[in-house]
Amino acid sequence: MSEKPAAYGETGSRRTYEWPRPALTVDVAVFSVIGTLNDLMLQVLLVERAQEPFKGSWALPGGFVHENEDLGAAAARELLEETGVRESYLDQVAAIGTPGRDPRGHTVTVLHVALIPADKHDLVSSGDARMARWFPAAKLPPLAFDHAKLLEAARDHLRRRIAATPVCFELLPAEFTLSELQALCETLLGRALDRRNFRRKVQDAGFLAKVKGQREGKHRPAQLFKLLPKEFARYVAQERALPW
């Protein structure tokens, strides 16, 4: 690290930091799904801005990083404070600091992506009275700042991660049917998968186990499965391709 500006936190008589520091924020693109099976929809959590600039616009939840706070912790905290939502999957996407992205001055944000299980959506109106709401990913309102771009980047990151990691299971209840898992993957990937191939591959992978019950519905009941975390960890450790 360069020593040209006296470093942050230096004590005593040395001069303080010469240049204005960029502000550092975290923003979180939060995804979840609602509906069941053939009517599954990807949705995004947004908050309404209470102040200028962009007062009244929708934005990604986020905020300033506290002193001595880790970036992931800051993202989780902001999400909880602003929306009452506790994430179950959180991943860093990138740092973005394009000049001019915030009209108030130079602000660098560390973008994260989070996933919330379908059954834990209960939003708490946040302390500072801003609204948090779910929007369908396909029909978003205009977003504040460069948040439309950020969201696009997060979506992209997610698509790639899904192809390489277990994120799907973060969005499902403990017991689920293969069709539910498949529909979820299809929603996240944005493309259809062949049912027979999917079932074969996912069962051959060996990290799922049948459980006693069945999912009752309007039609033929479906076998329930659960994830075997141990087998699953072993599977991903080998860096074997996931079945989708």
Partner DNA sequence: ACAAAAGTGTTCTAGTTACACCCATGG
Partner DNA sequence: CCATGGGTGTAACTAGAACACTTTTGT
Say which entry of a copy of itself, DNA, none residue 139 contacts (CB below 5 to 8 A, set by partner kind): none
The residue (of 14 and 139) whose beta carbon lies closer to a copy of itself is 14
Q: DSSP labels for the chain? A: ---SSPPTT--TTS----SPPPEEEEEEEEEEEES-GGG-EEEEEEEE--SSSSTT-EE-SEEEPPTT--HHHHHHHHHHHHH-PPPSEEEEEEEE--TTSSTTS-EEEEEEEEE--TT-------TT---EEEEETTSPPPBSTTHHHHHHHHHHHHHHHHTTS-GGGGGS-SEE-HHHHHHHHHHHHTS---HHHHHHHHHHHT-EEEEEEEE--SSS-EEEEEE-HHHHHHHHHTTPPP--
Say which entry of a copy of itself, DNA, none residue 92 contacts (CB below 5 to 8 A, set by partner kind): a copy of itself
The residue (of 89 and 176) whose beta carbon lies closer to a copy of itself is 89
Confirm or reject binding of residue 86 to DNA (CB under 7 A): no
**Binding to DNA in span 132-191, by CB under 7 A:** 177-179
Interface with a copy of itself (CB under 8 A): 1-5, 7-10, 17, 19-25, 27, 50-51, 59, 62-71, 78, 81-82, 92, 94-100, 102, 104-110, 128, 145
**Binding to DNA in span 193-222, by CB under 7 A:** 194-197, 199-201, 216-222
Q: Minimum CB separation from a copy of itself for residue 106, in Å?
A: 5
- Angstrom distance (rounded) from CA 160 to CA 119: 24
**Binding to DNA in span 32-51, by CB under 7 A:** 37-38
Say which entry of DNA, a copy of itself, none residue 196 contacts (CB below 5 to 8 A, set by partner kind): DNA
Say which entry of DNA, a copy of itself, none residue 10 contacts (CB below 5 to 8 A, set by partner kind): a copy of itself
Q: Minimum CB separation from DNA for residue 3, in Å?
A: 45
Say which entry of DNA, a copy of itself, none residue 201 contacts (CB below 5 to 8 A, set by partner kind): DNA
Sign of CA dihedral 45, 49, 54, 60: negative
Q: Minimum CB separation from a copy of itself for residue 215, in Å?
A: 36
- Angstrom distance (rounded) from CA 55 to CA 104: 13
Name residues whose C-beta falls within 8 Å of residue 18's C-beta, 6 or more positions apart in sequence: 5, 6
The residue (of 77 and 201) whose beta carbon lies closer to DNA is 201
Say which entry of DNA, a copy of itself, none residue 219 contacts (CB below 5 to 8 A, set by partner kind): DNA
Sign of CA dihedral 197, 198, 200, 202: positive
The residue (of 157 and 185) whose beta carbon lies closer to a copy of itself is 157
Site residue total, DNA (CB under 7 A): 21
Q: Which residues bind to DNA, rule: CB under 7 A?
A: 37-38, 177-179, 194-197, 199-201, 216-223, 241
